[in-house]
């Protein structure tokens, strides 16, 4: 379709959660999720609520035609059916400010955030969600945007599914609600199927509500699109269009949720005083925690004073323990001596080869009980670490069973009983029983978990007939073995038996394997882990979770069980977002591509400007009669070694080239007008997409400072305007 005589619209964007200051009266789902997940919360963000006029002026100074912003559903409808007149009036002022500046507002209704009360009604997978969303859209259209032409109902619907699905190589969900971690895999995928269908229904209902108010409104969405070679895109489309039942969906999504092949490890479960750390979470998956501990520094009792005051003081630690990192950070002037185990470290201390031994507080307590006259405490570190069970990365169903057993062990009071039995010290830091201190009845004799997948780890354990648990054999009270009888005892031994009871209904069906501290994590690493990058790449290229399912549904190519026929064609423009991509020659960077999308690792994201041109052509083939709107494209300060200014030049060049070839590109919107809080990430140059820089953490005035990329964007808009005027388009 020719674009002659049609003006290309340029714009900028932001979002409510990433730009508006947190208001405790109106928390959205991301506020509660970020706080519970220990992520960076938005705080003041850029204070767009009070400073929107300045951002609008800055956008106009670049030569923009469109200002895209989002409405906070949580502010507009703070409780079901109760609409906030103050918030509605505010967003109406934002619309008017944009219009008075000579630009068109593009309003997003749902930008990765929704009211927390929606989850209380079943969440986005509930049958009630489409009607609730349509009611909100109707109020927004009538009272905020009655004269708004451009609407985006649901931002990046294809990414929202990762609040319900966690790839096997990730340690956490990327999106809220993220609360499906306790559901069996079959139910998770059932929920995800309902979510996809609901998103189509909700968009369709919202579009109808908006166009009842303004028949000329253009309503669409902007699925996030990965830049993939043409053959990979065709493969994913082919796989997705053949998902015609829940069974097919389960078969495909199970592949991304659980690493089910080329697995061979030497333990099912590792306990052994294993503390959960971010570094370890990249290598194995951790269960819920069950014990709390800190770090203690021990010295010989006969040493007077503080032995660490001596020049060149030496501290022994167990190699690969968390104490190693704590000692390095707490005593930078000391010499750290690494030993294979606690016994070796104590021998070094006894012989005067080291001045002190740092270990976790539980082990230190055991040592002092056993040899109380030999050692004294000379230091306590205020860390609060937790013990958790380790399982192989990607063992989602198995991890659910382990977590169920730990909760049962803890909430039934069995953990407290075991601690009191094996430790004489009162006040040991074990995690509490039920809220209020009331222990519930222990569940017994009930295997659980879904082992229907043929290659699931849980199924393999049940077929073997016993559980293999790795524990240390030298921590009396926690886990130890009687040298005479060979009998195992301790809190972690009792916990392992509880897990066996959950798997087999029989606590005796567990075999213990003694393990040294440095060998705990290697026991869980598959001997085939060298193939993990290849397995990850194959998973990405064959999972429907990474397909362009939204556009396929709108084009009528999905089965009606996912996209009802009433939703087909319910779009007035073909929108999409594009950031990163890999060509066939750079497929080895596929993992980096997915990590940029799912883990926010933007500085290492693979940059492929040609991928944008290919996506424009692809969307044009799917929707030959619709205008194309690129609603997000942009970069952090430097990605893949490429500065943002260069990134913008190269990607805009692809847009201009596509227009000159006759493709109907109506708009290009750059993300983002200012620095933002990028999805709970710490703020730095690796998460800053802003054309105008705002020092979110250090500048109390939140001043907007133009970056070199703002100048480049202004220049390229002006150049395109001049070229268009010369050519009459």
Q: What is the pLDDT of residue 536?
A: 67
- Whole-number pLDDT of residue 213: 97
Domain ranges of the chain: 9-19+55-257+532-677+704-727, 269-524
Residue 370, pLDDT > 70, answer no
Over the chain, what is the mean pLDDT? Answer: 85
With both helix axes pointing from N to C terminus, report the angle between 532-542 and 230-241 in degrees, rounded to the nearest 10: 60
- Return the higher-pLDDT residue of 584 and 493: 493
- As a whole number, mean pLDDT of residues 692-709 equals 95
CA distance 665 to 548: 19
What local confidence, expressed as pLDDT, does residue 4 receive? 45
Alpha-carbon Rg for the chain, nearest whole angstrom, is: 29
| pLDDT at residue number 669 | 98
The per-residue pLDDT for 249 is 80
pTM of the model: 0.74
* Contact assessment for residue 452 and residue 186, using Cβ atoms and an 8 Å cutoff: yes
Is residue 113's pLDDT more than 90?
Answer: yes
The answer on pLDDT for 552 being more than 60 is: yes
Confidence of residue 434 (pLDDT cuts 50, 70, 90): very low
| pLDDT at residue 36 in the model | 76
Average pLDDT over residues 478-486: 85
Give per-residue pLDDT as tens, 670-681.
999 999 988 767
Three-state SS at 194: helix
- Residue 244 pLDDT level (bands cut at 50, 70, 90): confident
Q: What is the DSSP string of 442-503?
A: PP-S---S---STT-HHHHHHHHTSEEEEE-SEETTTEEE-TTT--EESHHHHHHHHHHHHH
Lowest mean per-residue pLDDT among 256-260, 280-284, 490-494, 633-637: 256-260
**Average pLDDT value for residue range 647-652:** 98
Q: What is the pLDDT of residue 258?
A: 59
Which CATH number is 269-524's, of 3.40.830.10, 3.40.190.10, 3.30.70.660, 3.40.50.300?
3.40.190.10
pLDDT score of 8: 95
Most confident of 433-437, 443-447, 469-473: 469-473
Residue with tokens 């002006």: 718
- Category of 5 on φ-ψ map: left (φ > 0), alpha (ψ -120 to 50) or beta: left
Q: Do domains 9-19+55-257+532-677+704-727 and 269-524 have the same CATH topology?
A: no
**Residue 225 neighbours by CB under 8 Å, 6+ apart:** 158, 548, 576, 577, 578, 615
524-548 residue pLDDT tens = 765 545 556 666 666 777 777 778 9
Is the CATH number 3.20.20.80 carried by domain 9-19+55-257+532-677+704-727?
yes
Length of the chain: 729
pLDDT at position 251 is 72
What tokens does 32 get?
Answer: 């509660």
CA–CA dist 558, 571 (Å, integer): 16
């Amino acid at each position: 379709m020719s674009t002659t005589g049609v003006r290309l619209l340029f714009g900028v964007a932001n979002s409510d959660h990433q730009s508006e200051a947190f208001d405790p009266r109106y928390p959205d789902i991301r506020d509660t999720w970020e706080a519970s997940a220990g992520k960076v919360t938005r705080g003041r963000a850029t204070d767009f609520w009070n400073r929107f006029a300045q951002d609008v002026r800055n956008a106009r100074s670049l030569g923009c035609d469109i200002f895209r912003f989002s409405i906070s559903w949580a502010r507009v409808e703070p409780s079901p059916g109760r609409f906030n007149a103050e918030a509605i009036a505010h967003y109406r002022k934002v619309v008017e400010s944009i219009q008075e500046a000579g630009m068109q507002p593009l309003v997003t209704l749902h930008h990765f955030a929704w009211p927390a009360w929606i989850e209380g009604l079943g969440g986005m997978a509930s049958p009630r969600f489409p009607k609730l969303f349509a009611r909100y859209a109707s109020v927004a259209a009538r009272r905020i945007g009655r004269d708004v032409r451009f609407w985006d109902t649901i931002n990046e619907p294809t990414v929202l599914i990762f609040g319900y699905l966690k790839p096997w190589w990730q340690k956490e969900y990327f999106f809220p609600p993220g609360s499906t971690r306790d559901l069996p895999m079959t139910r998770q995928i059932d929920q995800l199927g309902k979510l996809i269908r609901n998103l189509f229904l909700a968009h369709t209902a919202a579009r109808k509500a908006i166009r009842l108010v303004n028949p000329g409104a253009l309503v669409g969405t902007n699925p996030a699109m990965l830049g993939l070679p043409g053959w990979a895109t065709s493969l994913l489309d082919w796989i997705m269009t053949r998902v015609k039942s829940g069974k097919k969906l389960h078969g495909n999504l199970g592949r991304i949720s659980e690493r089910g092949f080329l697995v061979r490890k030497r333990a099912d479960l590792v306990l052994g005083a294993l503390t959960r750390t971010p570094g370890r979470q990249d290598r194995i998956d951790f269960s819920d925690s069950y014990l709390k501990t800190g770090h203690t520094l021990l010295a010989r009792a006969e040493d007077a004073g503080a032995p660490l005051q001596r020049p060149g003081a030496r501290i022994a630690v167990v190699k690969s323990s968390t104490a190693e990192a704590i000692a390095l950070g707490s005593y930078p002037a000391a010499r750290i001596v690494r030993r294979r185990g606690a016994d070796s470290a104590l021998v070094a201390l006894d012989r005067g080869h080291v001045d002190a031994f740092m270990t976790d507080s539980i082990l230190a307590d055991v040592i002092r009980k056993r040899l109380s006259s030999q050692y004294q405490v000379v230091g306590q570190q205020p860390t609060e670490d937790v013990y958790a069970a380790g399982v192989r990365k990607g063992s989602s169903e198995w991890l659910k069973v382990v977590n169920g057993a730990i909760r049962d062990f803890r909430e039934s009071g069995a953990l407290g009983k075991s601690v009191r039995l094996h430790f004489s010290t009162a006040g040991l830091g074990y995690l509490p029983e039920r809220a209020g201190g009331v222990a519930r009845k222990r569940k017994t004799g009930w295997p659980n978990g879904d082992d229907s997948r043929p290659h699931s780890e849980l199924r393999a354990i049940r077929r073997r007939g016993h559980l293999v648990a790795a524990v240390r054999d030298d921590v009396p009270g926690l886990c130890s073995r009687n040298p005479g009888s060979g009998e195992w005892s301790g809190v972690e031994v009792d916990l392992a038996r509880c897990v066996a009871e959950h798997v087999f209904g029989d606590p005796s069906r567990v075999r213990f394997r003694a393990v040294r501290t440095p060998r705990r994590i290697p026991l869980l690493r598959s001997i085939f882990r060298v193939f993990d990058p290849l397995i990850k790449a194959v998973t990405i290229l064959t999972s429907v979770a990474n397909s362009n399912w939204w556009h396929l549904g709108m084009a009528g190519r999905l089965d009606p069980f996912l996209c009802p026929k009433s939703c087909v064609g319910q779009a007035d423009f073909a929108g999409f977002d594009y950031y990163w991509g890999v060509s066939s020659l750079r497929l080895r960077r596929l993992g980096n591509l997915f990590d940029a999308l799912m883990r926010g690792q933007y500085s290492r994201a693979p940059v492929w400007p040609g991928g944008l041109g290919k996506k424009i052509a692809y969307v044009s083939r799917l929707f030959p009669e619709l205008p194309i709107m690129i609603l997000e494209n942009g970069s952090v300060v430097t990605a893949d070694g490429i500065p943002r200014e260069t990134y913008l030049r190269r990607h805009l060049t692809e847009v201009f080239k596509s227009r000159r070839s006759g493709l109907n590109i109506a708009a290009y919107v750059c993300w983002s007008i200012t620095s933002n809080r990028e999805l709970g990430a710490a703020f730095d140059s690796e998460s800053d997409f802003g054309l105008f820089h705002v020092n979110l953490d250090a500048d109390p005035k939140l001043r907007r400072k133009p970056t070199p990329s703002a100048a480049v964007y202004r220049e390229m808009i002006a150049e395109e305007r001049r070229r268009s005027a010369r050519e009459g388009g």
